[in-house]
């Protein structure tokens, strides 16, 4: 579903944020990306959705290269859902409108079809009954579940998550993780930047450990937690576990 081939990115001539990153994510696979703050995790997944441009190397999504001037970026972004730490809902729109706008404007769905899909998804993430409210009237956990539902409304082929629970109060983290666990169990291809190692152990097929712009380790989650291969990964794990 994703193929990163020797991806390099510089934010400025003196600062290389991604260093020769190579990664393949198969269909239905769940990959957790972890590593110290500033190691390039957010930049990496933004490149996978072409929200950031790479400097060189190639990225393919479902076989189509996104790192070429010919790439159809709106189509790509409609096919790969993204959920951010800060929810990024449209604050002046109701929850229902948040879920409908992309379906109608990007996918060309009818109003009726968009509303039906929105209601189904709101029910699925446990927000049925809040459709007429505005994002500011919901808790952080509810807003993040709306953000997930909004991404799913576009029928994505894969989902990218960037620290989806980092901005939440502790008691709301599990309600969001539960939605992500069920999505993973249904076979969604997911790349998740998170420090929730309980989630990682439970659903990740593989862990990607990044440090200073490099993918330092890629391993099945059992292997990574039981026997990290590098000092850098061991040092990281000793701080967060």
Q: Which residues bind ligand ADP (CB under 6 A)?
A: 11, 17, 35, 37-43
CB atoms within 10 A of CB 104: 15
Q: Which is nearer to ligand ADP, 149 or 168 (by Cβ)?
A: 168
**Radius of gyration from C-alpha coordinates of the chain:** 18
Q: Which is nearer to ligand ADP, 11 or 90 (by Cβ)?
A: 11
Residue 191 beta carbon to Mg ion: minimum distance, rounded to whole angstroms: 13
In a 13 Å sphere around the CA of 8, the CA atoms on its Cβ side amount to 11
Instruction: Select from 186, 190, 166, 187 the least CA-distant residue to 176.
Output: 166
Distance CA(236)–CA(18), nearest Å, equals 19
Q: Which is nearer to Mg ion, 40 or 135 (by Cβ)?
A: 40
Residue 236 beta carbon to Mg ion: minimum distance, rounded to whole angstroms: 14
* Binding status of residue 194 toward Mg ion by CB under 5 A: no
Q: Which is nearer to ligand ADP, 43 or 142 (by Cβ)?
A: 43
170-185 helix and 140-152 helix, angle to the nearest 10 degrees = 20
Residue 39 beta carbon to ligand ADP: minimum distance, rounded to whole angstroms: 4
* Binding status of residue 143 toward Mg ion by CB under 5 A: no
Which does residue 40 touch among ligand ADP, Mg ion, none (CB within 5 to 8 A, set by kind)? ligand ADP
Q: Which is nearer to ligand ADP, 73 or 227 (by Cβ)?
A: 73
Distance CA(191)–CA(188), nearest Å, equals 10
Instruction: Select from 108, 100, 117, 174 the least CA-distant residue to 141.
Output: 174
Out of 21, 23, 33, 42, the only residue in the binding site for Mg ion (CB under 5 A) is 42
Strand partners, 218: 208
| Residue span binding Mg ion (CB under 5 A) among the ranges 16-24, 37-45, 177-185, 207-215 | 37-45
What the block records as the tokens of 11 is: 């934010």
Q: Which residue has the tokens 């992500």?
A: 180
Residue 215 beta carbon to ligand ADP: minimum distance, rounded to whole angstroms: 12
Residue 121 beta carbon to Mg ion: minimum distance, rounded to whole angstroms: 26
Which residues in this chain contact Mg ion in the complex, by CB under 5 A?
41-42
């Amino acid at each position: 579903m994703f193929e990163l081939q020797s991806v390099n990115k510089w934010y400025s001539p003196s600062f290389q944020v991604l260093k020769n990153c190579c990664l393949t994510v198969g269909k239905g696979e769940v990959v957790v990306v972890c590593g110290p703050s500033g190691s390039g995790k957010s930049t990496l997944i933004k490149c996978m959705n072409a929200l950031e441009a790479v400097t060189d190397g190639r990225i393919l999504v479902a076989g189509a290269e996104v790192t070429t001037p010919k790439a159809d970026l709106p189509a790509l972004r409609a096919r790969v859902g993204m959920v951010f730490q800060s929810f990024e809902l449209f604050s002046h729109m109701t929850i229902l409108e948040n879920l409908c706008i992309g379906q109608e404007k990007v996918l060309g769905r009818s109003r009726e079809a968009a509303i039906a899909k929105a209601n189904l998804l709101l029910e699925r993430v446990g927000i049925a009954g809040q459709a007429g409210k505005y994002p500011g009237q919901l808790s952080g956990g509810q807003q993040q579940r709306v953000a997930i539902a909004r991404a799913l409304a576009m029928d994505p082929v894969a989902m990218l998550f960037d620290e989806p629970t980092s901005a939440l109060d502790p008691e709301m983290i599990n309600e969001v993780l539960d939605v992500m666990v069920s999505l993973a169990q249904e076979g969604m291809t997911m790349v998740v930047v998170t420090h929730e190692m309980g989630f990682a152990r439970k659903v990740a097929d593989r862990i990607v450990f990044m440090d200073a712009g490099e993918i330092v380790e890629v391993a099945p989650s059992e292997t990574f937690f039981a026997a990290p291969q590098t000092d850098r990964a061991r040092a990281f794990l000793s701080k967060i576990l």
